[in-house]
Structure 1
Amino acid sequence: MQKEKNNWYASWFNTPYYHILYKDRDHREAALFMNTLTNYLKLKENDSILDLACGKGRHSKYLYRQGFNVTGVDLSEESIAYAKQYEKPRLQFEVHDMCLPFPKKFDAVFNLYTSFGYFEKEEDNLRTIKAIKSELKPNGYGVIDFLNVELAIKKLVPSEKKEVGGILFDIEKYVEDGYIIKNIRFNDEGDDYCFTERVKALRLEGFKDYFEKAGVTLKAVFGDYKLNKFDENTSERLILIFN
C-alpha cells in the first residue's frame, strides 16, 4: 500500500519517521550556536524567546536551561505533544502556525535549522516575516537560520540510501521550479511510504525583498553557527538577524 502525503510539512513532521530519519542531529553544535547567538544579541537571564517551528523542542529546552523564558511553537501536534512533557513555568509549548502572529511579544524570535520557505503559497513566506515583526518587543531581534542555497545545490547528492532505526530510507534530491526537493521513500512493516520535503531556494536577495516588504531592517548576516562572515560560495548556512 502506497501512502502519500500532499501537505508535506504538516504531515511529514507529524510522523514518527521524520524523527527517526533525523535522530542523529548534532546537539552539541546546536548548544554552541545558541550560546554564541544569545551572547551576540546580548540577551539577559529571564529574557523571553519564541522558538518558531521548534519541533520536539531541543533548542527550546537548552535555552530554558540557560535561564531564558522560552515558548516553543510548531504546527506538528505530535511534536508539541512530545515537548509538553518538559514544560515548566519558564518553558511552554503550543501548536501554532508560524505565518500567523503569536499573541505575545518577545525579546527574540528564533526560526532555526531551515524551518522557513515550506509554504505552497509564496505570500505565506512574507506573512511569516510580518508575523515575526509583530512578535518582537521594540528592541527585540528576529533570527532566521537558513541553508546557503548556492552551496547546498553544489553539494546536492541526487540519490542515496540511509538506514536508521532498522528502516532503509531511499532519498532522492533535485532542484525544480525554484525549490530544493527531497523525496523520501521507505517500507515499514509491509507498507510503502513516500514523503516529500520542499524548501524554496531562497538566497540573500530574496530575504532582503521580504524584509523590505515587511518593514523590517536586516542588521547582520552570518555564514555558520560560529557567526563567521557569510560567503555565498563557501558558507554552510545563511543566518539573518533583523528587527
Structure 2
Amino acid sequence: MTKETKDWYSSWFDTPFYHILYKHRDDKEAQAFMDNLTSYLNIPQGSSILDLACGKGRHAVYLNSIGYDVTGIDLSEKSIAFAKQFENETLHFEVHDMREAYPKQFNAVFNLFTSFGFFDDDKDDLKTITSIKANLKEHGIGVIDFLNADFVIHNLVKENTKTINGIDFRLKRYVENGFIVKDISFEANEKPYHYQELVKVLTLKDFENMFAKANIQLLDVFGDYKLNKFNKHNSERLIMIFM
C-alpha cells in the first residue's frame, strides 16, 4: 500500500487524487463568500490581497476578477504550477511556506477553507499567525476561515464512501491526539493508496490565545459564509476578522 512518509499535507495536497476527491467543491458558494467578505471589509478595488495557502487558486482567481491585486502562495509545487496559468499583471502565484512571512505587505491576508492547524507543533501555528501579522500593512485586515471544531466533532460522519472518476474513496473520520483525522483509502491504476488529513482541534479560545501572543486584535467572528454571527454549537465555520 502506498503511503507517503513526509508531512501529510506535503504529500496529499500534491497528488492528483486530492483534487479528484474535492473536485465538486461549490465555487458559487466560495465566490459568494468572497463577495460578502470584501463588501463587509470595505476593501477598495485595486487593494492588495495575500491568499495564504491558496491551493490551485480558485479564491485568488476570483478575487482578481473582481478587481484586486492578488498574490497566492502555497506549499504545494503542483498546485502553484497549475495556478500559474491564470497569472497576469495583478495576479501572481508562488511556492511559499506560510510559517514564514512573505517579503511583502498587503491590505488584507486571507487564509481560507480550513488551511490552518495542520502542524504537529503548536509553535508552528503561532508562527503562521505571526507571519500573517507581519504581512499586513498598517490598518490591514486578516481573515482566517477555519472549521468550527465543536460542530464538526458533534456531527462527525464516521465512515462513508465517495465514488468520483471511477475511484471509490473510502473515508473514515475520528478524533485522535488533538486532531480531527480523516483516513482516505482507495485503489487507482491497480495500486492501493492511503492518505490522511489531520486538522488540529482549535477553538475560538485557542485562536484568541494565539492572537494575544502575536499582538493581534480580534474584530469580529462569523459562523458561515453568509457572515451570520458565530455560535459554537450551531455554526459550521469559525471565520475570524482581525488586525
| TM-score, normalised with respect to structure 2 | 0.99
Mapped pair 1:150 → 2:150: yes
SS in 1 for 2:103: coil
Question: Take 1:5 and 1:134, find their aligned partners in 2: how far apart are those partners?
Answer: 33
Amino acid at match of 2:133: K
Mapped pair 1:93 → 2:126: no
Aligned to 2:73: 73
Amino acid at match of 1:194: H
Question: Take 2:32 and 2:122, find their aligned partners in 1: how far apart are those partners?
Answer: 33
SS in 1 for 2:25: coil
Deviation of 1:155 after TM superposition, in Å, equals 1.0
SS in 2 for 1:92: strand
Deviation of 1:12 after TM superposition, in Å, equals 0.3
Aligned Cα RMSD in Å? Answer: 0.6
Aligned to 2:64: 64
Aligned to 1:168: 168
Question: Take 2:151 and 2:211, find their aligned partners in 1: how far apart are those partners?
Answer: 23
Q: Give the 4+ runs in structure 1 shifted more than 4 A.
A: none
Question: Identity of aligned pairs, percent?
Answer: 54
Amino acid at match of 1:85: Q
Question: Take 2:235 and 2:161, find their aligned partners in 1: how far apart are those partners?
Answer: 26
Question: Take 1:165 and 1:216, find their aligned partners in 2: how far apart are those partners?
Answer: 44
Q: Residues 176-195 of structure 1 correspond to what in structure 2 (within 5 A)?
A: 176-195=176-195
Q: Residues 203-218 of structure 1 correspond to what in structure 2 (within 5 A)?
A: 203-218=203-218
Alignment deviations for residues 164-211 of structure 1 (CA, whole Å, 9 cap, x no partner): 111000101000111100010000011110000000010000000100
Alignment deviations for residues 202-232 of structure 1 (CA, whole Å, 9 cap, x no partner): 0000000100111111010010011111000
Question: Take 1:65 and 1:37, find their aligned partners in 2: how far apart are those partners?
Answer: 15
Aligned to 1:30: 30
Aligned to 2:3: 4
Deviation of 1:138 after TM superposition, in Å, equals 0.3
Any stretches of 5+ residues in structure 2 without a counterpart? Answer: none
Question: Take 2:103 and 2:120, find their aligned partners in 1: how far apart are those partners?
Answer: 24
SS in 1 for 2:89: coil
Question: Take 1:178 and 1:153, find their aligned partners in 2: how far apart are those partners?
Answer: 11
Amino acid at match of 1:150: D
Q: Residues 114-133 of structure 1 correspond to what in structure 2 (within 5 A)?
A: 114-133=114-133
Amino acid at match of 1:87: E
Question: Take 2:91 and 2:79, find their aligned partners in 1: how far apart are those partners?
Answer: 15
Question: Take 1:195 and 1:29, find their aligned partners in 2: how far apart are those partners?
Answer: 27
Question: Take 2:98 and 2:33, find their aligned partners in 1: how far apart are those partners?
Answer: 22
Amino acid at match of 2:126: L
Alignment deviations for residues 40-79 of structure 1 (CA, whole Å, 9 cap, x no partner): 1110110000000000000000000000000000000000
Deviation of 1:120 after TM superposition, in Å, equals 1.8
Question: Take 1:92 and 1:10, find their aligned partners in 2: how far apart are those partners?
Answer: 21
Amino acid at match of 2:3: E
Amino acid at match of 2:57: G
Alignment deviations for residues 66-124 of structure 1 (CA, whole Å, 9 cap, x no partner): 00000000000000000001100000000000010000000000000000000121100
